Amino acid sequence: MPESRQIESDLKAYSSQLEAQLKSKYADYQAKAEAYQKGASTMTEVVRADKEKELTGLQNSIQEFQRSADQSLQQKQQTLLKPALDKLQKTIDAVADENGYTYVLNSDGASPVLLHGPKEGDISDLVLKKMGVTPGAAPAAKAAPATTPAATPVSTPTKTKTKSKK
């Protein structure tokens, strides 16, 4: 899709910003750690404890920033991909309806992925009940079957199968 290049570019730029901020935090930490190591022998116990506490705080801050940055990058990816995935799904649905397809599968991967199917054919709630899970209680378990995962690049399905009469 034409949008994929722009999405990749935006994600790369955002990732680069986050990496630059992380490098800056880490450089600050390294500078303070080196200063501490050089002057530790001449510091009083109170000053040394304060510097150690500061270094521990910086380490924690760096770790928290990394977690937050990863989460932020995933959220940015989902936000950028959503319009393209929605457009792709609408196109798949339209092509399926126009050509009388009941089900459309993407068979590029190891196991086929349902790209289009009738809503009344969705048995997810029945499967969840049989497993002892209350439908709706675990929204992550019932993902929209017609989209590709956010972590994969956006591409149009190259192989589609199955045509059945309605």
User: Quick check: is 44 in a domain?
Assistant: yes
Do 71 and 20 meet the contact criterion of CB atoms below 8 Å apart? no
User: Quick check: is 33 in a domain?
Assistant: yes
Residues 6+ away with beta carbon under 8 Å from 148: 85, 106, 113, 154, 155
Q: What is the pLDDT of residue 16?
A: 97
User: Quick check: is 166 in a domain?
Assistant: no
Which positions of the chain have pLDDT values less than 50?
Answer: 138-166
**Token pair for 129:** 């009940």
- In the chain, what's the furthest Cα-to-Cα distance? 85
| The total number of structural domains that make up the chain | 1
Q: What is the pLDDT of residue 48?
A: 93
pLDDT digits (tens, 9 = 90+) for 109-127: 778 888 888 888 778 888 8
User: What's the CA gap between 128 and 162, in Å, rounded?
Assistant: 26
User: Quick check: is 138 in a domain?
Assistant: yes
Structural domain including 69 reads 2-161
pTM: 0.61
Per DSSP (E only), the strands in 14-142 are 104-106, 113-116
Q: What is the pLDDT of residue 128?
A: 84
Using only C-alpha atoms, what is the Rg of the chain?
A: 25
Q: What is the pLDDT of residue 161?
A: 43
